[in-house]
Amino acid sequence: MKSRKIPKKIERRKKTVWIMILCAVVLFWTILPPSLGKIPLFYDDNGTVIPDSISEKIFIDVDGTEIGLLITGKNKSNPVLLFLGGGPGIPEYLLEYQKPSKLADEFVVCYLEYRGTSISYNSNIDAASLTTERYLSDTAAVTEYLKNRFSQEKIYLMGHSFGTFIGIQAALKHPESYHAYLAMSQIADQSESEIIAYQFMLNQYRQMNNQKMIREFEKYPIASSDRAYSDYCLSPLRDRSMHDLGVGTTHTMDSVITGIFLPSLRCKVYTPLERINIWRGKQFTASSPVGTDRMQFNTFAEVPCLKIPVYFFSGIYDYTCCYSLQKKYFDAVNAPLKGFYTFHNSAHSPLWEESDRFIEILIQDVLNGTNEQSD
């Protein structure tokens, strides 16, 4: 019986298919590289892990739900800092991973990954249960965990962007738990902030005579329509324009896609599935009650005073949470000690835009309970 030869044309097709499959696999792992999701360790000059350092990704049970924490620091005996990140849903450690700030040199830093987001994402969670009170309860539970674990009577509390919405309320409710409250890009009156930012960006595009962007903005009369305000805040136009004009996450980041999204897919601190869940969680929480609340929050009315020292870190180019409103609120709030620090080369994230100065303020003022370097 004669064997049948496979036509060369079919062979070439099979070869082409296998090449395409191989290219697809290589491309996939280039965009989403494999990793076990470990936090980098701290090494001394001899390449040995620093004995008292800590680099952990852990989960604690809070009312029946696993909440993810990233804990990092060069010395376990340093003061503890609970860091509440932005979004909700964008892990703060992403920025720290890209541009290390040396924050972990001075503190044991705990990054809380909010319920329903990132490594705390769970498809079984009801989005309606993600309320402001739920997030505040989680923050209180994590605070107690850190105090007990590191034998600290009090810890430091820091918020960034959305994290300031949760953080300042946590500081108001539980002043006994915190040495001080640190606000990077404090939410003050977010409705007013959005209107100021909207008008600023529209004026910028008018000066550029960018008719396309002018038309896009004029679709959302946010000052006169609640529906338009809500739609605009959830639209890609807002973030895209802020980064295009240098008033978004950082003054030099011109795109969320290249500045956050693609780097997040390559961040090996998270497993590939965890990286995907970052964006599933971001989408999941966008219209949750806590996500909606933060866009309507008025700190002037809700938090007129605090019983602990407060430190504000504000970028002059910040229109995500407008710099002018941050300063106005700082002037209005009553606290036993206040410090306001303007960063003249920063937008929304001065810790990673002007890291050396930020860390110097922490060392010289915050840890010493003074405000000598304040504006």
Domain boundaries defined on the chain: 1-375
Burial class of 372 by CB neighbour count within 10 A (0 to 12, 13 to 18, 19+): exposed
Which pLDDT belongs to residue 193?
93
Task: List phi, psi (to 5°) of 173.
Answer: -80, -30
Q: What is the mean pLDDT of residues 320-348?
A: 97
Average pLDDT, the chain: 89
Q: Which two tokens stand for residue 88?
A: 């909700």
Which pLDDT belongs to residue 9?
57
Whether pTM > 0.75 for this model: the answer is yes
Q: What is the mean pLDDT of residues 184-197?
A: 94
Q: Which two tokens stand for residue 78?
A: 């340093």
Q: Is the pLDDT of residue 172 over 90?
A: yes
Instruction: Report pLDDT digits (tens) over 112-151.
Output: 999 988 899 888 888 888 999 999 999 999 999 999 999 9
Which pLDDT belongs to residue 27?
46
Q: What is the mean pLDDT of residues 322-335?
A: 97
26-30, 89-93, 275-279: lowest mean pLDDT where? 26-30
Q: Which two tokens stand for residue 219?
A: 């679709």
The position carrying tokens 């503890």 is: 80
Which pLDDT belongs to residue 26?
46
Q: Where are the beta strands (DSSP E) in the chain?
A: 54-62, 65-73, 80-84, 108-113, 155-160, 178-184, 310-315, 338-343
> What string of DSSP letters covers 72-117?
EES-TTSPEEEEE-STTT--THHHHHHS--SHHHHSEEEEEE-TTS
Task: List phi, psi (to 5°) of 260.
Answer: -130, -50
Q: Is the pLDDT of residue 257 over 80?
A: yes
15-29, 207-221, 309-323: lowest mean pLDDT where? 15-29
Task: List phi, psi (to 5°) of 326.
Answer: -60, -45
CA distances from 112 to 39, 67, 157, 159, 211 (A): 14, 8, 11, 10, 42
Whether the bond between 88 and the residue before it is cis, its omega within 30 degrees of 0, is yes
Instruction: Report pLDDT digits (tens) over 194-209.
Output: 999 999 999 999 999 9
Q: Is the pLDDT of residue 366 over 80?
A: yes
Which pLDDT belongs to residue 5?
54
- What's the CA dihedral at 285, 287, 290, 296 to 10 degrees? 140
Q: Is the pLDDT of residue 264 over 90?
A: no
Please provide the size of the chain in residues: 375
Homologous superfamily (CATH) for 1-375:
Alpha/Beta hydrolase fold, catalytic domain (3.40.50.1820)
Task: List phi, psi (to 5°) of 267.
Answer: -75, 105
Q: Select the more confidently predicted residue: 344 or 90.
A: 344
Rg (CA), the chain: 23
Q: What is the mean pLDDT of residues 223-236?
A: 88
Give the type of residue at 245.
L
62-76, 103-117, 267-281: lowest mean pLDDT where? 267-281
Query: Which secondary structure element, helix H or strand E, spans residue 28, and what is its range?
Result: helix 8-31
Q: Select the more confidently predicted residue: 14 or 372.
A: 372
What confidence category does residue 13 fall into, taking pLDDT thresholds of 50, 70 and 90? low
